[in-house]
Each structure stands twice: as C-alpha cells, then as structure tokens.
Amino acid sequence: MPLTSCDTGLARRDLLAGGAGVALTLALGGAACAEPGRKPNVVLIVADDLGYGELGVQGCRDITTPNIDSIASGGVRFTDGYVSCPVCSPTRAGLLTGRYQQRFGHEFNPGPAGAADSVFGLAADERTLAERLKEAGYSTCMVGKWHLGYRPECRPTRRGFDEFFGFLAGAHPYVAARQAGAQIMRGDEVVTEREYLTDAFAREAVAAIDRHKEHPFFLYLPFNAVHAPLQAPPRYQQRFAAIQDPRRRTFAAMQSAMDDAVGRVLARLREQGLERDTLLFFISDNGGPTPQTTSANGPLRGFKAQVLEGGIRVPFMVRWPGRLPEGKTYEKPVISLDIHATALAVAGIRKKPEKPLDGVNLLPVLTGKSSREPHKALFWRFGAQSAVRMGDWKLVEQQGETRLYNLKDDIHEDRDLAAEDPRKLKELQKAYEAWDRQLAEPRWGAQGRARRALRR
C-alpha cells in the first residue's frame, strides 16, 4: 500500500522553527508528516520467551493470535528480526539503550533478586529511551517486567519513567494466590494485585493511554507472558479444550490472554483517535524455551539461551497507519537495538547521543526511501557462545566448535560450510574479533567470572 504523503510545500514558519513536523519529514525521507503540533506517540510491546513460530502470522496453527497478527497485517513484519541476546535481562538492556549491552558489561541474567550480585543493574552512565523521550517532552509510562536492577537507584522511576506498574525481577507468577514472595509495585510502593497479571497489565496500559492522550507519550509494555510458570485462568484454558497436552493447553491460554491484552491496547488507541499518531512495535525478548514451556521456534533450530537462530531470531513487527506500508514483510536483518534509534527519529530528536548507538533508524528502508541494508553485520556474545551474521552468512561459536552457515539455503543451520569456504569463515571471524575488542568484561554472574578467568 502506498504511504500517505503530505504536502511537499512545508510552511515557512515550520522550516524556520525546525518543528516536529519537519523533523519527522526528514526522518521519513520526506514521505510523510505528523499531525500538526503533535509528536507521535511510541508504544513498545515486548513478549517474554515467545518463540518465533508461535503466532498465526508466523505459521502457528493451534493458537490463534488475531490482535498481534493485526500489527503485522497493518504494518511491517521483519522475517529476520533479532534480539541482542538469547536471554531476558541483557536483551532489555540493549533494547532500552540502543547499544550492544556487552559494551557496558550487561552480558548475563542476574539470578533471583535475593541472590543477584550487588553490582547488578543497568549501568548508570547509559541513557535509556525513556530518558531521551522524557527530555523531548514525552510522558513516559512503563507497565510490566523490568529485570534491569532491584536497588532504588536502578528502578524504572530513576531511569526515565514517570510511571511504573509491574515487578522488578525475572520470572514472576501470574495468579495472586501464588504470589508469595513476589511483589507488584506502583512506582516505588508495593501493592496488592488480585487480577490475573496479564489482564492487570492490559488494564494499566489502557489507563495510561487515557491519562496521556492529549500529549505525546511513550508506553513501554513488557509482558511476562509467556514466560514460565505456566499459569492461566479456566476462562482462557477453555478456549483450547481440544489441545490434549495440559502444558501446551496452558501455554496456549497464556498466549491468548496476552493477545487479548494487546487487542485492548490497540482498541484504546483506536477509540481515542490515536492510531495514526502512534508508532507501535511488537517484539519478543528472546526465543522460546521449548523444553520448559512448549514455546516453539520453528522453522528455526535452537532455543532460548543459545545463539542459534531459535534463540535470537524472534517475532518482530511495527505498525504506524498512514506512515508505513501495510501487510509488508521486510527480509533484511534488523535488530531490537534499532527500535531506540527509530523512536528518536520519530520524536524529532536530532541531537547525537553521548555514546554512539548500535541501532539504526529503520524508517528510510521501511518507506522505500533507502535500499541499503540497515546493518553490514550483527553480532552476539553470550559467555562462551558467539555469533556474527553478515548478509546470508552466519558464524556460530558454540561448545568449543566453530561452524559456518548460509541461512538463505539452510535456515535450520544443519550444514556446516566452514571447511568448504574457509575465506568466508575467516572474513566473519575477523569481523567478530574487531567487534569483540570493543566490549567490556561481564560485570556479574558465574559465567562472567569464568570468562574473566579465561582471559587472564
């Protein structure tokens, strides 16, 4: 579908003022402009442990996800969309900073709140997307899972968010009766939550939209669905009575609840007349841990915590009605780090960050104003595992073995081509080594200590 264009003759006063409309037109390559006088809202929805193959639009057949699928049908779906780590906390650190989290030592999950290293937390000298958008006049709201620090100075309200409702740790129960030892917070206060947690997050997200509808807002909505534990109320499980496996049936119910929650957010944006003023992303934080929750990554190989495709390639889509194409798939590699840079461009923030971003503004390629690939290469380092993707080629270092794949011909990473193409192998190894030299040592975790010991 062609993009909705705006008048090519920009008002003289806008040009002189350098207003939001001009900045947005430049970000889009001149293809579209925002509503006069208003910067676009940014909504970032994150699923937890959602496998690549678990949405209808991704090929799933036993769980319907009409609301999430509608983001793809009304926008752009990335077939080769990646996250910067195959586990939760590091991915979130990269997502909110727009930088490879290994640059500042955030390489591993921290462990439970009571056992986490005292140094755990998003580095104080890294800037979050919420902080940048807040400075640009946005209201900033977070609803859901944080997992970037437990100490007061590390919490969402100290990292750019005006409002926070959710929890600070990693895995969290969904049902109030099973929440012993697990805390839900509003701001910095512990509150009692009786509603099924996915439903509660939907409730809080639509309330945030209502509160801030008159002004630009950033809503960060990281669900804990569909992460373990497998818990869902009967009303959701009844939708999938035909699924015989009780674990799969509960997982399906959890995913369906999340789809309903996404639908409530989309409906409220529509009801408030905000659809065309809102850039909305949906992404998973890593691949599915299939043996634990049944969340499948087909047709990819591998799972959460692996740098094989199943651990790092995820459902990833974006929608902005009237500004981006509808029902388009984009097949060049992109990464979650790009969300930060794209949101800054949409907000008209042209000041260069103090530390260079690794993500790029995707708007020019999505609108067809640029045919360049967003990235020459993408990189991963997760303890003893590492990977690099350049074009169709991918190098994987895992369990002491080095393997080379051509993903165009071998999406399942079955055929190792390292011996057949040593020149390509060396090219990717050289690129990875140059990137690796830029990184910090891991700041916490047994894996980090082991890595530091190996480097001595």
For the annotated catalytic residues, the residue numbers are 88, 147
Single-letter amino acid, residue 70: S
Which of 315, 304, 259, 302 lies closest to 396 in space, CA to CA?
302
DSSP 370-419: --S-S-S-EEEEETTEEEEEETTEEEEEETTEEEEEETTT-TT-----TT
Give CA angle at 396 (331, 311), nearest 5°. Answer: 60
Which of 106, 68, 82, 57 lies closest to 310 in space, CA to CA?
82
Rounded to whole angstroms, the Cα distance separating 191 from 165 reads 9
Answer whether 25's CB lies under 8 Å from 264's CB: no
435 backbone φψ class: left, alpha, beta (φ>0; ψ -120 to 50): alpha
Rounded to whole angstroms, the Cα distance separating 398 from 319 reads 36
DSSP state of 4: P
Which of 202, 180, 209 lies closest to 192 in space, CA to CA?
180
Neighbours of 450 (CB within 10 A): 13
Answer whether 162's CB lies under 8 Å from 140's CB: yes
The pairing of strands 163-167 and 378-382 is unpaired
Rounded to whole angstroms, the Cα distance separating 250 from 242 reads 12
Q: Which residue has the tokens 């509960």?
A: 250
